[in-house]
Amino acid sequence: MKFTRIAVAAVASAAALGLAACGGGSGSGSGNTVKVGIKFDQPGLGLKEGSKYSGFDVDVANYVAKELGVTPQFVEAVSSQRETLISTGQVKYIVGTYSITDKRKKDVSFAGPYFVAGQDLLVRADDSSITGPDSLKNKKLCSVKGSTSATNLQQKVPGVNLQEYNTYSLCVDALKAGNVDALTTDDTILAGYAAQAQNQGKLKLVGNKFSTENYGVGLKKGDQEFCNKVTEALKKFISSGEWEKSVKKNLGPANYTPGPGNPPTPSCQI
């Protein structure tokens, strides 16, 4: 009888360890692994350096995975490919500065928002000619294919010379090289680039936000059950204090302060 009790205790202990490894959200461990889309080139939000991942969105993705009891395997989710990655089942969900829009909701469902950002402009530090959207006429503006940023600016400034690249990193390089005059996207993303050591003193935010971007977790269209689970995980991420801790850790070095509406109240948007 004693041997049986010891054996049962050992099995229970092993099972507990297995669950801990599965729910750790570290991208490793035994258990149910799911592919999760994030950005690989957005400092402060989703950045891959070697085999390590960092950023606010990465923290969100890991927290959701932990609450779901799965282990995330990160996949790069380029803006123009996000809907395809979800609809074809190449990823289970995406956490990558993914703004909730009516157009996107026709193809995917969202849990969120988990963060409210605003569109801004990044320019060279010595450029005082660009003060906002109204000063972009005949300027070369860089944005990323498939993002809402390009659409917003084209509507506001019909005369802008828009250059679309595959990634924000390429836009930053073009800006520093003088090939474009400004980069536009969410202020969170721009703050991350401006805060990088290699860009300090070279780039600056204009500081004139002109849109509201509600970040959501993108998932398969119509999956109500999974959407509800992710929404509850996001609510817990916020209420537990992990949201605030992650914002300070990842965006605080850029002297960035979340704007109105933060932290938001997530909901399931099928």
The encoded tokens of residue 2 equal 């004693």
Lowest mean pLDDT among 10-14, 25-29, 167-171, 239-243: 25-29
Predicted local distance difference test score (pLDDT) of residue 12 = 42
Predicted local distance difference test score (pLDDT) of residue 3 = 40
Predicted local distance difference test score (pLDDT) of residue 31 = 63
Predicted local distance difference test score (pLDDT) of residue 150 = 74
Q: Give the span between the Cα atoms of 114 and 94, in whole angstroms.
A: 13
Residues 57-66, mean pLDDT to the nearest whole number = 98
Residues 132-141, mean pLDDT to the nearest whole number = 91
Predicted local distance difference test score (pLDDT) of residue 166 = 86
Q: Residue 55: pLDDT above 70?
A: yes
Among 157, 214, 151, 154, CA closest to 188: 214
Q: Are 18 and 11 in contact (CB under 8 A)?
A: no
Predicted local distance difference test score (pLDDT) of residue 32 = 94
Q: Residue 81: pLDDT above 60?
A: yes
Q: Give the span between the Cα atoms of 157 and 180, in whole angstroms.
A: 16
Q: Give the span between the Cα atoms of 68 and 84, in whole angstroms.
A: 23
Q: Residue 155: pLDDT above 70?
A: yes
Q: Residue 30: pLDDT above 70?
A: no
Per-residue pLDDT of 207-237, as tens digits, reads: 888 889 999 999 999 999 999 999 999 999 9
- More reliable by pLDDT, 22 or 227: 227
Task: Quickly state the pLDDT bin for 240 (edges 50, 70, 90).
Answer: very high
Among 22, 46, 49, 47, CA closest to 34: 22
